[in-house]
């Protein structure tokens, strides 16, 4: 119990700390933050339930007014802005990533984590992100997808990184990769 609470809390803090790292820059000039990498890692490392709770904790603290999102953003305004779908979708994305990870126990950790991150961190996250954008800005699906397509290459990089980092963690700290140990 103590261990679960501590891991959930530390991973929530890890997402926040990753948001403070300097932006990685793609060659196309689109900035990518490491924050959604943290969301994917929560799912692939902690599993569905605990990973989802860690991200929910993070999003909850953002709502309470802590500036934990990348760029020091936070507060209730985030949930009224055009990117609110992504923030709302974060916990569900992590849960899905964890769920997929748990289903793919027969695959090598890195590959399973990559697939899980793609399903949770891209597919599910974008469903929420796009829906939120459409709702706040009254845009059609095609218009919204055009806007977000520039971020997809960065997300694919993050999926690969999630696979590499999760398999690294499974080697360095196997007992803490809860999505594999149970």
Shortest CB 71 distance to another protein, Å: 7
- Is residue 30 at the binding interface for another protein, with CB under 8 A as the rule? no
| Contact residue for another protein among 33, 34, 51, 130 (CB under 8 A) | 34
* β-sheet bridge partners, residue 31: 25
- Is residue 106 at the binding interface for another protein, with CB under 8 A as the rule? no
| Contact residue for another protein among 65, 103, 111, 123 (CB under 8 A) | 65
Q: Which stretch binds another protein (CB under 8 A): 11-19, 93-101, 103-111, 117-125?
A: 11-19
106 vs 138, beta carbon nearer another protein:
138
Shortest CB 173 distance to another protein, Å: 5
- Is residue 173 at the binding interface for another protein, with CB under 8 A as the rule? yes
- Is residue 88 at the binding interface for another protein, with CB under 8 A as the rule? no
Q: What character string, x for contact with another protein (CB under 8 A) and - otherwise, covers 113-152?
A: -----------------------xxxx---x---x-----
- Is residue 41 at the binding interface for another protein, with CB under 8 A as the rule? yes
The C-alpha atoms of residue 48 and residue 8 are separated, in whole angstroms, by: 12
Please report the DSSP string for the chain in residue order.
-HHHHHHHHHHHHHHHHHHHSPPEE-TTS-EE-SHHHHHHHHHHHH-HHHHHHHHHHHHHHHHHT---BTTTB-SGGGGTSTTHHHHHHHHHHHHHHHHHHHHTTTS-HHHHHHHHHIIIIIIIHHHHHHHHHHHHHT--HHHHHHHHGGGHHHHHHHHHHHHHHHHHHHHH-GGG-HHHH-
Binding region for another protein (CB under 8 A) = 1-3, 5-14, 16-18, 20-22, 24, 34, 37, 41, 45, 57-58, 60-61, 64-68, 71, 73-82, 136-139, 143, 147, 161, 164-165, 168-169, 172-173, 176
């Amino acid at each position: 119990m103590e261990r679960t609470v501590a891991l959930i809390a530390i991973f929530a803090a890890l997402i926040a700390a990753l948001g403070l790292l300097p932006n990685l820059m793609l060659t196309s000039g689109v900035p990518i933050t490491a924050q959604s990498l943290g969301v994917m890692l929560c799912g692939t490392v902690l599993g569905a339930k605990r990973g989802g709770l860690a991200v929910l904790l993070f999003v909850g603290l953002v709502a309470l007014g802590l500036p934990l999102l990348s760029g020091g953003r936070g507060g209730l305004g985030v949930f009224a802005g055009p990117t609110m779908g992504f923030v709302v979708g974060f916990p569900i994305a992590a849960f899905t990533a964890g769920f997929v990870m748990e289903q793919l126990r027969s695959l090598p950790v890195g590959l399973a984590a990559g697939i899980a991150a793609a399903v949770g961190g891209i597919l599910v996250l974008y469903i929420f992100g796009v829906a939120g954008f459409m709702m706040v800005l009254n845009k059609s699906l095609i218009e919204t997808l055009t806007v977000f397509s520039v971020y997809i290459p960065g997300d694919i990089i993050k999926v690969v990184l999630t696979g590499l980092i999760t398999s690294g963690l499974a080697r360095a700290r196997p007992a803490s990769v809860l999505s594999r140990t149970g």
